[in-house]
Amino acid sequence: MNNRLYIVVPCYNEEEVLPETSKRLKEKVSALVSSGSIASDSRICFVNDGSTDSTWELIQKYHEEDPVFSGINLSRNRGHQNALLAGMMTVLDNADMIISLDADLQDDINAMDEMVEKYKNGCDIVYGVRSKRKKDSFFKRATAECFYKLMNRLGAKTVFNHADYRLMSKRALQGLAGFTEANLFLRGLIPMIGYKSDVVYYERGERFAGESKYPVSKMLGFAVDGITSLSVMPIRYITALGFFVFLFSIIILIYSFVRHYLGETIRGWTTLMVSIWAIGGLILLCLGIVGEYVGKIYLETKGRPRYIVESFIDR
Ligand code: UDP
Ligand code: MG
């Protein structure tokens, strides 16, 4: 049976959590191996995303102590999504399946048993879905849920309340390798691969050490990226908006003529000011949205590498 598992963990300045994370993951892998669910040469692969602290030194140390740990060092910080992709693509040839998760273990690692079970029953992609978000702050929960709803309304199909905790089979990864876009939003891309998939529910915990690498500004950027790389609905809405504003302006035109011939023309300073500002604002907003897409095209046409692997330690 082909069931060699690689657990892929992107790490950016995670020296505070790595000792505990590596311990817990190793226990998990041992348990899965002894229950016969996964191959005995399964690995835990940490991807160092250009950390400025001792994260990479720690990863090297773990690798020397125990071959169950392998590591990938990226040439510089490329962000969570790119780091994750780098990890998955680098281990692709060695692994039969991968499970990706965050270094802070906010996602319950005990859901892995069920993921592997579903893989064995023929699933190529198993999504980890948060059943509750009790432990997240009200703000994070509310914004995240709004985001998922908005994404789906805009036509970008994502799995509700699923972050990047998931199992993927080798052939699903090979499918993913065919998506060459520079604007990565894995959560939206992976459902496009297809194949049989399923979900596993778990409760999300708190970060046990260190702080979030996703401040509000990054979260907002991520949301905008997600929508604009998956959906062209905003551009359609602009077209519709332009059409209605045009219709409205015709009505205003007729109205003005009628008023004019009735001899009731007033100086109209107020309407003028209001419309200049309203239309001006709208135009700027629309330009901004269109610009967002043009910017994306610009980045895509360059076809720059999404990450550069400096070293891959695996034995
Ligand atoms: N991360 C990364 N590169 C970055 C930022 C974050 O690889 O530039 C990793 C980080 O080490 C963690 C995961 O992405 O494993 C999720 O980050 P975090 O837990 O800080 O985000 P949150 O759970 O608060 O959304
Ligand atoms: Mg986290």
pLDDT in tens, 235-256: 777 777 777 777 777 787 787 7
Residue nearest to atom 1 of ligand 1 (CA): 80
| Same structural domain, 55 and 107 | yes
pLDDT tens per residue, range 245-296: 777 777 877 877 787 778 766 667 667 766 777 787 778 777 777 877 887 7
Number of structural domains in the chain: 2
The residue segments making up the domain with residue 263 are: 233-302
Has residue 228 been placed in a domain?
Answer: no
Angle at 273 between CA 271 and CA 276, to 5 degrees: 105
- pLDDT at position 303 is 80
Cβ distance 204 to 161 under 8 Å? Answer: no
pTM comes to 0.74
> Could you tell me if 28 and 97 lie in one domain?
yes
Per-residue pLDDT of the chain (315 residues; tens, 9 = 90+): 678 999 999 999 999 999 999 999 999 999 999 998 899 999 999 999 999 999 999 999 999 999 999 999 999 999 999 999 999 999 999 999 999 999 988 888 999 999 999 999 999 999 999 887 666 677 777 877 787 788 777 777 778 888 899 999 999 999 999 998 887 888 888 988 989 999 999 888 777 777 777 777 777 777 777 777 767 677 777 777 777 777 777 787 787 778 777 876 666 766 776 677 778 777 877 777 787 788 778 778 878 889 999 999 988
The verdict on 187 and 245 lying in the same domain is no
14 Cα–ligand 2 center, Å: 11
188 lies in some domain: yes
Q: Is the Cβ atom of 11 under 6 angstroms away from ligand 1?
A: yes
| CA of 12, nearest ligand number | 1
Candidate from 46, 53, 102 with most ligand 1 atoms within 8 A of CB, to mutate? 102
SS (H, E, C) the chain: CCCCEEEEEEECCCCCCHHHHHHHHHHHHHHHHHCCCCCCCCEEEEEECCCCCCHHHHHHHHHHHCCCEEEEEECCCCCHHHHHHHHHHHHCCCCCEEEECCCCCCECCCHHHHHHHHHHCCCCEEEEEECCCCCCCHHHHHHHHHHHHHHHHCCCCCCCCEEEEEEEEHHHHHHHHCCCCCCCCHHHHHHHHCCCEEEEEECECCCCCCCCCCCHHHHHHHHHHHHHHHCCHHHHHHHHHHHHHHHHHHHHHHHHHHHHHCCCCCCCHHHHHHHHHHHHHHHHHHHHHHHHHHHHHHHHHHCCCCCCEEEEECC
- Name the residue of 22, 77, 80 whose CB sits within 8 Å of the most ligand 1 atoms, as the mutation to test its pocket: 80
Q: Is 224 among the domain residues?
A: no
Check which CATH number belongs to the domain holding 17 and give it: 3.90.550.10
Distance in Å, CA 13 to ligand 1 centroid: 9
In a domain, 227, yes or no: no
pLDDT at residue 269 in the model:
62
Structure tokens at 179: 């998506």
In a domain, 204, yes or no: yes
Measured from the alpha carbon of residue 140, the closest ligand is 1
Residue count (the chain): 315
Q: Whose C-alpha lies nearest to ligand 1, atom 25?
A: 214
Say yes or no: 248 and 184 in one domain. no
62 and 204 share one domain: yes
- 243 and 204 co-located in one domain: no
- The pLDDT of residue 133 is 63
